[in-house]
Structure 1
Amino acid sequence: MKFFLLFTGLLLVSCTQIPDGIEPVSNFDKTRYLGRWYEIARLDHPFERGLSKITATYTLNNDGSIKVVNTGYNEEENKWDVAEGKAYFVSDEDVGHLKVSFFGPFYASYVIADLDKDNYDWAIVTGPSREYLWILSRRPILDEFSLNQSIEFAKSKGFPVEDLIFVKN
């Protein structure tokens, strides 16, 4: 529960901005993005500290919003933490910029900064600033080429990639 209660601190900012110099992906296809994603690496945050086997699962709600279910295993407490939320597009649905809420009317920015547009096999996601970065994959392990490409992209955009935490899956 610690994971998700602390996450609400981020959401209370109610921020949907995009970090300077970052462009959300265009020609985005939400139906191809739906499904399960595995967290490969991230920048450290209290709301995920101590968690492994982290996934995010996205499904379409009847109202057109996207249901978000985040799970992570807390080894210290020997239990799974789960949070459910909703995401909405900030503008056009073909632009990878959403706002996500796990707590009432408060939203945080979810910016897809880079994406394997051929197969939707990996994605690089940020929040409202360069303090937030996630490398996601459709599989628990991302191939070395794609991982290195993702890290280099993030580095070129000014993210502190030397601080990345690689998730135990």
Structure 2
Amino acid sequence: MKKLLLATLLTALAGCASTGGELPTQANINLKDYAGTWYEQARLPNSFQKDCAGDVQADYVLQADNTISVTNQCRTPDGKTKMAQAQGRLAKAVNPPDPAKLEVRFAPAWTSWIPMVWGDYWIMKTEGDYQYSLVGTPDRQYLWVLSRDKQADQAVVTRLLDYAASQGFATNEVVKTTQ
């Protein structure tokens, strides 16, 4: 009976583990250089962007305390602008801190002590001196291709998506963003 219980417990724990393995991130990220405006070129569909029809952009501002303020906006199907503001920080679980592994919170500031209000935001790869960025989550559920220009070089976008596929992301489900 003990062996059956142990086998059941180990099977349940294995089911909770990430199947993609460790997600590599871009080495030597400088958050000062990363800050600024980014335009979304592609993403894996997600519930919090379901109302975004196009013109998706994110503005990152590095704060004096090394946190990042984030303002996301997009155009909705009725032509209105939808905005969301967030705070970002270095991922607390990473020791030593890795500036490519960030956590972002869109919930109110008073909830910041609750671990589950923070979502992973890992900079997997950059190209062209911070002209392109590939961002994902270690569970492979969220993925974005960003560029500094509204109109991106599609060869670079494809190369970043190919890299994401090699890391276990379901890039066959990616939607391209209309800018």
TM-score > 0.5, shorter chain as reference = yes
- 1:50 is displaced (CA, Å) by 3.4
Deviating beyond 3 angstroms after TM superposition, the runs of 4 or more aligned structure 1 residues are: 91-95
Q: RMSD value over aligned CA atoms?
A: 1.7
Q: Which amino acid aligns with 1:100?
A: V
Which structure's residues are more often strand, by fraction? 1
Q: 1: CA distance between counterparts of 2:99 and 2:31? A: 9
Richer in helix (by share): 2
Q: CA deviation at 1:139?
A: 0.7
**Preserved CA contact (<8 Å) 2:22 2:138:** no
Alpha-carbon offset, residue 148 of structure 1: 1.8
- What is the Cα deviation at residue 49 of structure 1? 1.5
For 2:101, the equivalent position in structure 1 comes to 97
Q: Look up the match of 1:125.
A: 135
Contact 2:89/2:102 (<8 A) preserved: yes
Separation in 1 of the partners of 2:131 and 2:97?
A: 19
In 2, Cα distance between equivalents of 1:95 and 1:62: 15
* Number of aligned positions between the proteins: 150
Q: What TM-score does the superposition give when structure 2 sets the normalisation length?
A: 0.78
- Aligned partner of 1:67 in structure 2 is 69
Mapped to 1, the partners of 2:38 and 2:104 lie a distance apart of 16
Q: What displacement does 1:87 show?
A: 0.6
Deviation of the 1:81 alpha carbon: 0.8
Alignment of 1:20-169 (within 5 A): 20-51=21-52, 52-76=54-78, 78-90=79-91, 91=94, 92=96, 95-103=99-107, 104-105=111-112, 106-116=117-127, 118-169=128-179
The residue identity in structure 2 corresponding to 1:151 is L
Q: Give unmatched runs, 5+ long, in structure 1.
A: 1-16
Q: In structure 2, what is the Cα distance between the partners aligned to 1:162 and 1:41?
A: 12
The answer on whether the counterparts of 1:30 and 1:94 sit within 8 Å (CA) in structure 2 is no
The residue identity in structure 1 corresponding to 2:135 is V
Q: Which amino acid aligns with 1:85?
A: A
Contact kept in structure 1, 2:31 and 2:99, CA below 8 Å: no
